[in-house]
Structure 1
Amino acid sequence: MRAIRCNQYGPPETLTVEDLPDLEPQAGEVVIDVKAAAVNFPDVLIIENKYQFKPPLPFTPGSEVAGVVRKVGAGVTQFQPGSRVVAYTGQGGFAQQAVAAASACVPLAEGVGFAQAAAFTLAYGTSHHAVVDRGALKAGETMLVLGAAGGVGLAAVEIGKALGARVIAAASTDDKLAICTKHGADATINYATEDLRERIKALTDGKGPDVIYDPVGGVYAEPAFRSIGWRGRYLVVGFANGEIPKLPLNLTLLKGASIVGVFWGDFARREPAHNAAAFKQMVEWIGAGKLRPYVSAEYALEDTGRALRDMAERRVVGKVVITP
């Protein structure tokens, strides 16, 4: 089988395509013929050794896949060869075959495309955990989403609307904001051309948002947090900007506000029952048309480096996938 390999930490251009032996499942595992593997910002950080998860070299990046079960290991009864599944693998996704724990696989209905399915797990899992569990967003409240045109950002916009909240989307271009509006955003902020604090103030009648969803970090974090409403919840989701901000803690005192960390991967591992309940709710929302995973581009396996470069340089809208 062909696979992307990270043999040394570095930029996306250092990745190689290699021929590797076919995979064999261990007990409790399945081998999946990968039809689509989603690209996520942590993939960029992992290959550069800038992420909290550090697989030993060499490794194949890619953490979420959709495809068809090829082989099953001992003890696996819920799937068989030919089963359509979506799975969170942690690594190994950018390849023609991937191994996943059977417990990390979800059956995929015939009518759901592989690309859309691969784009769902991490982005929507992260955003549901953030918005519903950690942010406790309620109907009638207002949520500001920074980096709203990215995969997790668009998921947060849709989940906020599914809950009955008012959602303000912030992004760096008008084209990106147009996508956010199509996915339900009630108002928008172009933080490349508008004053973020002044625009937030105008859109919230000076009250500030109840929840701020921040997967970006960097220079927008402090002005956003200074604009948060009383008893607001600031969700720390990631640092796509590349800079980890340092917020003055006196601001939490003045607003009675909370800074809340979001780490979906560990949540799913530590609280599997709660995570399963979250996905059950989201599947119902998909059936009702409230969630619509948006895949803006598909890349061939040999173009994985370019996909990761586009992700690193914030050219991606929604999600992009690799199709081995």
Structure 2
Amino acid sequence: MKAALCEQYGGPERIVVRDVPAPQLASGQVLVDVKAAAVNFPDLLFIADRYQVSIPVPFTPGSEFAGSVAAVGEGVTGFAVGDAVYGSAMSGGMAEQIAVPASDLYPVPVGLSMIEAAAFRVTSMTAYHGLVTAGSLKPGDWVVVLGAAGGVGTATVDLAVRLGARVIGAASSRERLSVATELGAEAGIDYSTEDLKGRIKEITGGGADLVIDAIGDRYAEPALRAVRWGGRFVSIGFAAGDIPKIPLNLVLLKNVTVRGMEVRTWNAKLPEETARGRQLLADLVAQGMRPAVSEVHDLDDVAVALQRVADRKHTGKVVIRVAE
């Protein structure tokens, strides 16, 4: 089968497409014919060996995929050959087939194409846990989304609006902010040219109830300073580069709740909350919610797709079409 392969750590240019042996199906696993795989920022960290967990080379990147069941292993119930499924794994999605535990797969929600399904689970569950589980979102809350034009950002803006929040999108240009506006954000802040702290306070009339921070770096502290007394700040990533250091006196004086949220471990450790989120998201898909897919690339162009995300030139999600 064809698969993208990381044979040595580095940037997207190191990723090649090769013919490799098909995965062996083990007990409790499902073999999936992959139709599409999404690109997520952690994929870049894995291939650069900069993630919290290291994957030994060689490996196939790709943490999010959709396809059809090709075979089921011993002991697997609830899936049959031909079922449309989507799921996530640490790696392996950018290939014609992947074998994963049955517990990591779910039926594709009615209404989603394979391209959309591949782009849905990781970002939508990140948005759900960030906003609801960690962020205690309430209707009417002022929510600031840093990195509002990216994959997680667009999903977070969309979900927050659908849950009744008043949303401010923050991104690196006015052109990128237009994506958040189309999803229902009431206001936008170009943090490359505007005073982030000042604009948040001006727009909200005193401070944000909740900040969802997917970018970190120099933008985290001014956003934290713009949270109202008793508000919440949720860190979900550091796409802008450096991991920020937060002065704890701000947390103390403003009585701010600061939480970190890493979706892989939250899904595993909070099964009841995750199940509630999955049902809510399925209901919203039935009402018309869709992931903001901006680019689709063929598997042979996997390095180009990864580079687009690395350069932060894309909006929404970038997806790799593995098969028709």
CA RMSD of aligned residues (A): 1.1
Alignment-mate amino acid for residue 313 of structure 2: R
Residue 271 of structure 2 is aligned to residue 276 of structure 1: no
Residue 236 of structure 2 is aligned to residue 237 of structure 1: yes
Report the Cα distance in structure 2 between the residues aligned to 1:21 and 1:110, rounded to whole angstroms: 33
Aligned residue runs from structure 1 range 92-111, under 5 A: 92-109=92-109, 111=111
Moved more, 225-234 or 189-198: 189-198
Report the Cα distance in structure 1 between the residues aligned to 2:111 and 2:196, rounded to whole angstroms: 41
Instruction: Look up the match of 1:252.
Output: 251
Instruction: Look up the match of 1:295.
Output: 293
Query: Helix, strand or coil for the counterpart of 2:228?
Result: coil
Instruction: After TM superposition, give the deviation of residue 288 of structure 1 in Å.
Output: 1.9
Instruction: After TM superposition, give the deviation of residue 277 of structure 1 in Å.
Output: 1.5
CA contact (8 A) 1:89 1:101 kept: no
Report the Cα distance in structure 1 between the residues aligned to 2:83 and 2:100, rounded to whole angstroms: 13
Aligned residue runs from structure 1 range 36-51, under 5 A: 36-51=36-51
Instruction: After TM superposition, give the deviation of residue 23 of structure 1 in Å.
Output: 2.0
Instruction: After TM superposition, give the deviation of residue 135 of structure 1 in Å.
Output: 0.4
Instruction: Look up the match of 2:219.
Output: 220
Q: Percent identity?
A: 46
CA contact (8 A) 1:5 1:18 kept: yes
Query: Helix, strand or coil for the counterpart of 1:210?
Result: strand
How many residue pairs are counted as aligned between the two chains? 322
Instruction: After TM superposition, give the deviation of residue 116 of structure 1 in Å.
Output: 0.6
Instruction: Look up the match of 1:56.
Output: 56
Instruction: After TM superposition, give the deviation of residue 214 of structure 1 in Å.
Output: 0.3
- Scaled by the length of structure 1, the TM-score of the pair is 0.97
**CA displacement 1:99-121 (0-9 Å, x = unmatched):** 12111111125642001111111
Report the Cα distance in structure 1 between the residues aligned to 2:109 and 2:151, rounded to whole angstroms: 22
For structure 1, which runs of at least 5 residues remain unmatched after alignment?
A: none
**CA displacement 1:230-259 (0-9 Å, x = unmatched):** 111111100001110011110111211021
- Scaled by the length of structure 2, the TM-score of the pair is 0.97
Report the Cα distance in structure 1 between the residues aligned to 2:263 and 2:292, rounded to whole angstroms: 20
Aligned residue runs from structure 1 range 1-324, under 5 A: 1-109=1-109, 111-205=111-205, 207-289=206-288, 291-324=289-322
Alignment-mate amino acid for residue 276 of structure 2: A
Report the Cα distance in structure 1 between the residues aligned to 2:109 and 2:259, rounded to whole angstroms: 35
Report the Cα distance in structure 2 between the residues aligned to 1:208 and 1:89, rounded to whole angstroms: 38
For structure 2, which runs of at least 5 residues remain unmatched after alignment?
A: none
Distance 1:211 1:22, change over 3 A: same
CA contact (8 A) 2:112 2:290 kept: no
